[in-house]
Amino acid sequence: MKTMTMNEAKTTSKNPTTSINWKQILISYVPVVFLLFLFLVGVKSLESSFKLLGAGFAQGLLNNSANPFVALMSGMFATVLIQSSSATTSIIVGLVSSGTLSLDAAIPMVMGANLGTSVTNTLVSLGYVSSNKSFSRAFAAGTIHDCFNFLSVAVLLPLEIMTGFLGKSANYLAHLLYGSSNNMTFDSPIKAAIKPFVGGIKSLVVNILGFEGRSAGLALAILSAILIVISLALIVKTTKKIVESSRGEILEKLLSSNPYRTIALGTVLTFAVQSSSITTSLLVPLAASGLLSLEAIFPVTVGANIGTTATALLASLTGNVHGLAIALVHFLFNVFGTLIWFVPPFTRKLPLLMTNFLARMSMKKRRYGFAYVAVVFFIVPMSFSIIF
């Protein structure tokens, strides 16, 4: 009797939960992967549209002000428009390397870039506004990145103004590391796969539709936005079907087994796609569908913040010691933010509490969610950039 029970336990432990679940995930996620690829094409095309708008367009968004708060808003507003903190920080690295921008003035801009990049996932969450349960989960997942970055800036910017510890630490490390690198570069395989499709969309705008100059940039931006919206809408529908057929237990276990392993996963994934906004915005549909909890998403977001610093670090290795220093500031800012707001269990609760509060407020009145995005990411930084 005992032998029969043990054999039955062995067979049941072998078959249903492991092989069948993995097969389901592989099959059901094929269309999701394809849609995510389209999403990345849209994001990269949007980035290309700003190049057509003029070489000095992004640089012109960065206000070189002695006021650190104005510099913070400048970096934030530039990143909101460009939709890539990697692009903004790479530009800042170039400006610091050339001597156009001082290290002290650039530090708040880098912090602002971290704030601005979180708008993408928050905008994605607003796409679920018509569904009560989905919207609550989506908005919480979308704003966890915001809350973590705002809390990091709230502590580290005043500390930097008073002590200059980030600039000093980065300068020290830059002088140690400078000269030890041999022009390291990294070519993302994902970007290599996306490039021909982006080129095709650009060719459609310029060669077939006949747009030129800034009008071509504007047309490409509109097409890119349409592609992003359509791909995300289809991702929403596809992930809902996955939830209906599978609870996503393996995915949940993968991301919640060890938070520090999950941070590493988020770091590597963001390094591969070279954009934290892509990593974090892709988590929103999974959270909205109930595949991932907020606690499982949080460490991925923290890892994405660290992973996004890789692009500026690699860009700085071909410049001078000053460019490397500001790239290291970006890295240290995110590392210290993790040490303050994630490592201690009691401080880790605050970003989650803030996020849940924003989600509850937006659930009561949907316009609060739209007002939050409009005021925090557009009206406030744009006002500072124009006035000052």
Amino acid 50: pLDDT: 63
pLDDT tens for residues 89-106?
877 876 787 676 788 889
Amino acid 52: pLDDT: 74
Burial class, 52, CB count within 10 angstroms (exposed 0-12 / middle 13-18 / buried 19+): buried
Question: SS3 sequence, 74-100?
Answer: HHHHHHHHHCCHHHHHHHHHHHHHHCC
How far apart are the C-alpha atoms of 352 and 339, rounded to whole Å?
16
**Strand residue runs (E) in the chain:** none
**CA 258-262-268 angle, 5° bins:** 150
Give the DSSP H/E element, type plus range, for residue 19: none
Spell out a b/e string for 299-323, using b for 16 or more CB atoms within 10 Å of the CB, else e: bbbbbbbbbbbbbbbbbbbebeebb
How far apart are the C-alpha atoms of 170 and 242, rounded to whole Å?
45
For the chain, which residues make up each domain, given as ranges?
A: 25-387
How far apart are the C-alpha atoms of 241 and 247, rounded to whole Å?
10
Give the DSSP H/E element, type plus range, for residue 183: none
Q: Are 338 and 306 in contact (CB under 8 A)?
A: yes
- State the pTM of this model: 0.73
Query: pLDDT higher for 79 or 376?
Result: 376
Q: Are 210 and 4 in contact (CB under 8 A)?
A: no
pLDDT tens for residues 143-159?
999 999 999 999 999 99
Query: pLDDT higher for 127 or 168?
Result: 168
Phi-psi region of 213 (alpha: psi -120 to 50; beta: other; left: phi over 0): left
- DSSP-assigned letters across all residues of 120-141: HHHHHHGGGTT-HHHHHHHHHH
